[in-house]
Structure 1
Amino acid sequence: CDVVREPERVKERIAYMSQRFGLYPDLSVKENIRFYADLYGVPRADMHSRIEELLAFTGLAPFRRRLAGRLSGGMKQKLGLACALVHQPEVLLLDEPTNGVDPVSRREFWRVLNRLAHDGVTVFVSTAYLDEAERCTRLALLDRGRVLAQGTVQKIRALLPGVTWEIVGVDPRALARHLRAVLPGALVAAYGDRLQLALAGDDEPAIRRVLGQGGFAEAAVRPIRPSLETVFLGVLAGVANARREAGEAQA
């Protein structure tokens, strides 16, 4: 279909689910799906079987009579997804669908998305959770509306040169301050009780000397695969450096 010349035909083949999907709190789960089925023009002869299929697919069948306003955040997102899928779209656009959803519901939601992708639906997801982004086949890293990088997870990770080290067993905040002071060119990112340090080289004895100088000799150090968040921070740092150098060149 041509998006410009045939917009109505395109709409029949795509679906969009916003961060807070427009559910009707005074309607039941089943009534909400039926309402969207009517909006999308699902044939009456197919409507009952399609609703039952979606209730089973999303795990909402036991809650079909519950009012949407009484659902948990995760269940509301599942219901929003069911409503978006009612006309069997080929392309699904999701805007931060798991924002504010508990970890268990997030995992269940992604299981549903994986099944959709397996069935041939193309799924686009915007998310601030980079651990979720790792589940996708292709990624695009955005900053201020600009694409910084795109490709497979492996290609994105390769953007961070050198070796990434995980350091545990000491105060991560104090260690981060020390490393940023003595290694100004290094990328330092703290995650809970552990810290990731990205360096161009792979000299572990040199890292241990730096740790000892700051009183962190007891820390455990090991090379790891960098998290996407660390890679994203590294890409952002590279962009910031390039902007700064460009500004200095113009001055």
Structure 2
Amino acid sequence: MKLKSTECSLKLNNERVSGLQNAIHIEELSKSFKRKRVIKPLSVQIESQKIYGLLGPSGCGKTTLIKMIVGMMKPDAGGITVLGKRVPDASLLSEIGYMAQSDALYTELTGRQNLEFFAKLYGMSKSERKIRIDYAAEIVQLSNDLDVSVFAYSGGMKRRLSLAIALIQNPKILILDEPTVGIDPLLKQSIWKELERLKAEEGKTILITTHVMDEAERCDKIGMLREGEIVAIGTPMEIKAQYHAASLDEVFVKIGGGH
């Protein structure tokens, strides 16, 4: 699916990003809460125009790490560079599409009004807003429910609207915290096809957290997080070979992710 009105801006965006080997560079990052070390000093490079999966059990630090990358949380030590800019940087807000683990929606508004609100925040013209809203709603299969109050949405519909909001401003980087939780298998497949298209055709960099191993298999590279540390990193095939495992589920158990 291509949007003709954005082809020129996409080309310019891709040319700027292509010069950066790593879209996200994390160096010696750490974070503690009430003396508990949630993220131990870690360093990770996330390449441009790739889908990078961050895996780990609940409580391992995935969401904390994501929030620091987005600039919502300040690390205790270390630094993060996104698209060549040190986080936090207000100019990055329009470059990152962020989908949080918990839905931050205006439930008294309709789905369309939510999308309109966020599109206006990014200064889109009326015609551009219509194109982006139609595109995002179609991707998450909410086109027929846009004029319904979000209060009446199911949990899965709210997740889909949150993903649409992350896509609305055509960002260079998508950061998605467990985006397919509560979404039916058919729609999940459709969303993953679009993520792969966004990477291949529009040069997006996508960072996604997940518990689901079949989704992890679709990532170009994955990092396995346990108790605030990256304990394995590489392509799905490389990690399985490293741990002499037939599946990522088996690797997950071997590194202690199954307890």
TM range (shorter): 0.5 to 0.7
Hey, what does 2:64 align to over in structure 1?
none
The one-character-per-residue Cα deviations of 1:5-30 (angstroms, maximum 9, x if unpaired) are 88122222112110122111121111
Partners of 2:97 and 2:173 within 8 A in 1: yes
Change in 2 beyond 3 A, CA 1:115/1:73 = farther
Deviation per CA, 1:32-62: give whole Å up to 9, x if none: 1001111222233422222222222332212
Aligned counterparts, 1:218-229, within 5 A: 226-229=246-249
**Partner of 1:48 in structure 2?**
130
Q: 58, 61, 86: which one pairs with 2:168?
A: 86
Which digits, 9 at most, give the CA deviation of each residue in 1:122-158, with x for residues without a partner?
1101112222211111101110110011111110110
Please list the CA deviations of residues 50-82 of structure 1 after superposition, one character each: whole Å capped at 9, or x if unmatched: 222222233221212122222233322221111
Rounded to whole Å, the distance in 2 between the matches of 1:34 and 1:154 is 42
Q: Distance in 2 between matches of 1:100 and 1:55?
A: 17
Aligned length: 174
Distance 1:104 1:5 in 2: 36
Specify which structure has the higher proportion of helix.
Answer: 1
- Relative to structure 1, the CA distance from residue 144 to residue 84 in structure 2 (aligned partners, 3 Å threshold; closer, same or farther) is same
Alignment match, 1:235:
255
- For 1:101 and 1:50, locate their aligned partners in 2 and report how far apart those are by CA, in whole Å: 22
- Residue 36 of structure 1 contacts residue 83 of structure 1 at CA under 8 Å; is this kept in 2? yes
Q: Is the 8 A contact 2:156 2:181 kept in 1?
A: no
Q: What does residue 207 of structure 2 align with?
A: 124
Query: CA distance change for structure 1 residues 63 and 46 in 2, over 3 Å: closer, same or farther?
Result: same
Q: Return 5+ residue gaps in structure 1 as ranges.
A: 165-225, 238-251
Q: Distance in 2 between matches of 1:5 and 1:152?
A: 27
CA distance in 1, matches of 2:242, 2:101: 30
Partner of 2:80: none
Aligned residue type for 2:119: A
Q: How does 1:1-251 map to 2 (within 5 A)?
A: 1-4=83-86, 7-118=89-200, 119-161=202-244, 226-236=246-256
More strand per residue: 1 or 2?
2
- Which residue in 1 is equivalent to 2:34? none
Q: Against the structure 1 CA distance between its residues 228 and 24, is the aligned structure 2 distance closer, same or farther, given a 3 Å change threshold?
A: same
Cα 1:55–1:103 change in 2 (3 A) is closer
Gap regions ≥5 residues in structure 2: 1-82
Shift in CA distance, 127/90, structure 1 to aligned 2, threshold 3 Å = same
Rg larger in structure:
1
* Higher RCO (C-alpha 8 Å, min separation 6): 2
AA partner of residue 233 (structure 1): V
Question: Within 1, Cα distance between the matches of 2:187 and 2:156?
Answer: 5
What letter matches 1:235 in structure 2?
I
Give the alignment's Cα RMSD to 1 decimal. 2.2
Structure 1 Cα separation of the partners of residues 93 and 106 of structure 2 = 22
| Equivalent residue letter for 1:140 | G
Percent of aligned pairs sharing the same letter: 34
Please tell me the residue identity of whatever aligns with 2:97: A
